[in-house]
């Protein structure tokens, strides 16, 4: 077990599946669930790194390696068996698959809409078999079908795809829309944006900021978000006896809204680096993103990421404090966790 959240042993009173479990947020959700004494089924891609699989197994999760596909799909016997085993006995499930910068072989629609529908179809199947009661999904703050960003537009379409499967089956759901996620308590991953700025600060003579970093964000500590997800899943005394049908959506942010420039300054302060900034006009950033998307399998910067610097990403109704019952972790405290991870 790596540094971070300690997993305590309690008698299991529920079984929860987490897809995207090997990712940044996935590691933290798995740890938070295990801390509640729950049995965790971690669904990961077959090509997941051995170190990621080992981390989940050593944490106490049971790992299943299979690409998520709709229950109704024409799957190979082995593929279907793995997914059936992953969802067997599951009472709750958390959907985390998605990306702000997909690889060339993938698209926003595939990752957000199609994968959400596939996840929901297995939840319906688990419900029909018996015992399944609630699903949770993490999208993004600002998810909207009319958003100026393909990422945010398809995140909303993913929500709708999920609900279109769950609502007819009367399966309760919780959707979480976080702002920028920061910090680390377990695992070895970061959000792509934070990772990029940490690397830039460590390796470049200056740090570029698109549009001067003037857009507002509301950074949330990753462990706070994971706690909120698990709290909503486990908010009833008996996890397996929940019978209420509720579709709920929560905006999740940290305790303060800040310009992106101030967030990057705080990241550099946390890792004891000071570098000058360079203002990159959006037009120049879009041109660079176009080239990167053409030549890199997973682009360092995408056109959609550039577009998102043109507007704020802050909560109109932040639900975090109400869910976790305390004030969110401050940005300074959240970023201080990076000091425990020297060398990565």
Flag whether pLDDT at 233 surpasses 90.
no
Flag whether pLDDT at 240 surpasses 90.
no
| Residue range 279-335, pLDDT digits in tens | 999 999 889 888 887 888 777 778 888 889 999 999 999 999 999 999 999 999 999
pLDDT value for 243? 53
The pLDDT-based confidence of 9 (bands split at 50, 70, 90) is: very low
The answer to whether position 205 is within a domain reads: no
pLDDT value for 5? 39
The pLDDT-based confidence of 236 (bands split at 50, 70, 90) is: low
Q: Are strands 172-178 and 92-95 parallel, antiparallel or unpaired?
A: unpaired
Flag whether pLDDT at 22 surpasses 70.
yes
The answer to whether position 261 is within a domain reads: no
| Consecutive H or E run containing 14 | none
pLDDT, average across residues 96-106: 84
Cα–Cα distances in Å, from 133 out to 71, 234, 339?
A: 18, 11, 40
pLDDT value for 238? 43
For residues 14 and 39, the answer to whether their CB atoms sit within 8 Å is yes
pLDDT, average across residues 157-164: 96
pLDDT value for 103? 79
The answer to whether position 277 is within a domain reads: no
The answer to whether position 337 is within a domain reads: no
The answer to whether position 298 is within a domain reads: no
Flag whether pLDDT at 269 surpasses 90.
yes
For residues 140 and 191, the answer to whether their CB atoms sit within 8 Å is no
Total of domains in the chain? 1
pLDDT value for 343? 52
Q: What are phi and psi of 45, to 5 degrees?
A: -70, 150
The two structure tokens encoding residue 116: 């959400």
For residues 124 and 165, the answer to whether their CB atoms sit within 8 Å is yes
Mean pLDDT of the chain: 89
Flag whether pLDDT at 21 surpasses 50.
yes
What's the CATH code of the domain at 36? 3.40.50.720
The two structure tokens encoding residue 152: 């945010």
pLDDT value for 319? 97
pLDDT value for 244? 58
Cα–Cα distances in Å, from 84 out to 5, 29, 62?
A: 30, 22, 14
Q: What are phi and psi of 305, to 5 degrees?
A: -65, -35
* Rounded distance between C-alpha atoms, residue 128 and residue 300, angstroms: 43
Which ranges constitute the DSSP H helices of the chain? Answer: 24-35, 50-59, 77-87, 108, 115-129, 150-166, 192-203, 222-233, 260-270, 282-295, 303-308, 320-324, 331-336
Nearest to 70 by CA among 78, 61, 79, 58: 79
First to last CA, the chain: 17
User: DSSP string covering 211-269, please?
Assistant: GGG-SEE--EEHHHHHHHHHHHHT-SSSGGG-----EEEEEE--S--EEHHHHHHHHHH
| Residue range 201-223, pLDDT digits in tens | 999 999 999 999 999 999 999 99
pLDDT value for 2? 37
Domain carrying residue 74 = 15-189+219-253+314-328
Instruction: Show Cβ contacts of residue 32 under 8 Å, excluding neighbours closer than 6 positions.
Output: 5, 223, 226, 227, 229, 230
Flag whether pLDDT at 29 surpasses 80.
yes
Q: What is the pTM of this model?
A: 0.91
* Rounded distance between C-alpha atoms, residue 141 and residue 319, angstroms: 12
- Buried b vs exposed e over 293-316: b needs ≥16 C-beta within 10 Å? beeeeebebbbbbbbbbeebbbbe
The pLDDT-based confidence of 274 (bands split at 50, 70, 90) is: very high
| Residue range 103-151, pLDDT digits in tens | 778 888 899 999 999 999 999 999 999 889 999 999 999 999 999 999 9
pLDDT, average across residues 69-82: 94
pLDDT value for 139? 97
Question: Which range, of 166-180, 238-252, 273-287, 291-305, averages the lowest pLDDT?
Answer: 238-252
Flag whether pLDDT at 10 surpasses 60.
no
The answer to whether position 197 is within a domain reads: no
pLDDT value for 297? 78
pLDDT value for 301? 78
Bigger pLDDT: 33 or 292? 33
Cα–Cα distances in Å, from 241 out to 35, 64, 70, 82, 118?
A: 20, 26, 27, 26, 25
């Amino acid at each position: 077990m790596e540094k971070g959240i300690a997993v305590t042993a309690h008698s299991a009173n529920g079984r929860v599946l987490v897809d995207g479990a090997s990712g940044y947020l996935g590691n933290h959700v798995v740890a938070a669930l295990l801390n509640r004494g729950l049995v965790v089924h971690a669904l990961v891609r077959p090509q997941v790194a051995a170190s990621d699989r080992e981390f989940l197994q050593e944490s106490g999760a049971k790992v299943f390696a299979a690409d998520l596909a709709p229950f109704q799909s024409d799957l190979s016997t082995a593929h279907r068996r793995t997914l059936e085993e992953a969802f067997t006995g599951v009472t709750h499930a958390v959907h985390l698959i998605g990306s702000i910068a997909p690889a060339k072989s993938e698209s926003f629609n595939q990752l957000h809409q199609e994968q959400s529908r596939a996840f929901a179809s297995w939840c319906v199947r688990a419900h029909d078999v018996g015992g399944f009661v609630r699903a949770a999904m993490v999208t993004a703050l600002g998810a909207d079908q009319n958003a100026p960003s393909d990422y945010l537009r398809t995140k909303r379409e993913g929500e709708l795809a999920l609900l279109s499967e769950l609502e007819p089956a009367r399966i309760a759901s919780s959707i979480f829309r976080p702002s920028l996620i920061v910090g680390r308590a377990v695992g070895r991953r970061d959000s792509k944006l934070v990772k990029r700025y940490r690397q830039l600060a460590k390796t470049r003579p200056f740090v570029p900021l698109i549009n001067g970093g003037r857009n507002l964000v509301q950074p949330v500590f990753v462990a706070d978000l994971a706690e909120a997800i698990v709290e909503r899943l486990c908010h009833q005394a008996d996890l397996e006896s929940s019978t209420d049908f509720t579709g709920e959506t929560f905006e999740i942010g940290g305790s303060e809204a800040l310009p992106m420039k101030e967030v990057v300054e705080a990241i550099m302060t946390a890792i004891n680096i000071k570098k000058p900034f360079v203002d990159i006009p959006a037009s120049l950033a879009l041109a660079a993103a176009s080239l990167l998307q053409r030549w890199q399998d997973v682009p360092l910067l995408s056109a959609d990421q550039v577009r998102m610097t043109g507007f704020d990403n802050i909560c109109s109704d932040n639900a975090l404090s109400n869910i976790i019952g305390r004030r969110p972790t401050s940005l300074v405290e959240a970023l201080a966790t990076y000091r425990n991870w020297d060398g990565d």
